[in-house]
Amino acid sequence: MKGTVKQISEVSAQDIDAMFALMDEFYENMDRAVFERDFFAKDYCIILHDDGGRIVGFTTQKVMSVNVDGKEVHGMFSGDTIIHKDYWGDTELFRVWAQFWFPFAEKYDEFYWFLICKGYKTYRILPLFWREFYPSYKGAVPEYEKKIIDAYASALYPGEYDPQSGVIEYRHTKDRLKPGVADIDEHRLKNKDVAFFSSANPGHAQGNDLACLAKIDRTLLRKHAPELLFK
């Protein structure tokens, strides 16, 4: 499996067809018009191909800034993200992501990754690579980071983001993971991160998203992360 970064304008119609088909395989309530609207609102797309050239995963990103206490805070928002189940556990997507976005972030005094999680697999990317990220079971979100999360979520999902819960509750029919794709059972709840995600986003099975944040800063990565991400 090999990943490449493309600007959204460089992605072919054929690739967009394949990416929608991949999402539709694992998500319910997929709407082509909504998918394309969200896709073309982004700036970059990381696409994964298998050895035969088939698209087996992708993630989209939008560079944006928000105002927090009169300060412009820069960051990147991740949109649709999926990896075919045949490649679950492979780190190629995260390696390509890191090798693009960590150098990109160095142009700023501080640069954040804002992501939304409707499944525990997406949420677990954070504790896999970061020592510090929010929210987590380790404690309350610090005031400054909470303001950043609120600013991003409110800008992207006005009227649907609840700052009290930190969850985006959609007012319309929303895509959601199909049963059996990322179910949370008693065994998975033994993991503290999964248990926290399930508690913080109790409506995840209905498509609700938990708003999350991590600073793109190498000093905040876990000890093993650089070997996995920058090799």
Give residue 180's pLDDT band: very low, low, confident or very high (50, 70, 90). low
Tell me the per-residue pLDDT of 99-119, one tens digit each, with 9 for 90 and over. Answer: 999 999 999 999 999 999 988
Q: Where are the domains positioned within the chain?
A: 2-229
| Euclidean distance between CA atoms 228 and 58, whole angstroms | 19
Q: Under a CB-based contact definition with an 8 Å cutoff, are residues 29 and 207 in contact? A: yes
Contact 40, 132 (CB under 8 A): no
pLDDT band at 13 (very low <50, low <70, confident <90, very high): very high
| pLDDT tops 70 at residue 28 | yes
pLDDT of residue 49: 96
Q: Put residue 192 in one of left, alpha, beta given phi > 0 → left and psi -120 to 50 → alpha.
A: alpha
pLDDT band per the 50, 70, 90 thresholds, residue 130: very high
> What pLDDT score does 172 carry?
74
- Segment 181-211, tens digit of pLDDT: 666 778 888 999 999 999 999 988 888 999 9
- The tokens describing 155, both together, are 């800008």
- Kindly give, in sequence order, each residue whose CB lies less than 8 Å from that of residue 84, ignoring residues fewer than 6 positions away: 22, 25, 56, 57
- Residue 156 to residue 114: CA distance in whole angstroms: 11
**For the domain 2-229, what is the CATH superfamily, name and number?**
Gcn5-related N-acetyltransferase (GNAT) (3.40.630.30)
pLDDT for res 81: 86
pLDDT of residue 181: 67
Least confident of 32-41, 67-76, 100-109, 222-231: 222-231
Q: 57 vs 105, 126, 220, CA distance in Å?
A: 24, 19, 26
Q: What is the predicted pLDDT for the residue at 182?
A: 64
Can you give the pLDDT at residue 205?
81
Mean pLDDT of the chain: 92
Q: Report whether 181 contacts 26 (CB < 8 A).
A: yes
Other CB atoms within a 10 A radius of the CB of residue 5 amount to: 15
Q: Rounded to whole angstroms, how far apart are CA atoms 213 and 215?
A: 7
d(CA 152, CA 148): 6
d(CA 138, CA 196): 9
Q: What is the pTM of this model?
A: 0.91
User: Which pLDDT band holds residue 5 (cuts at 50, 70, 90)?
Assistant: very high
- In the chain, what percentage of residues exceed pLDDT 70? 96
pLDDT at 206: 83
Apex 122 CA angle, 34 and 124, nearest 5: 165
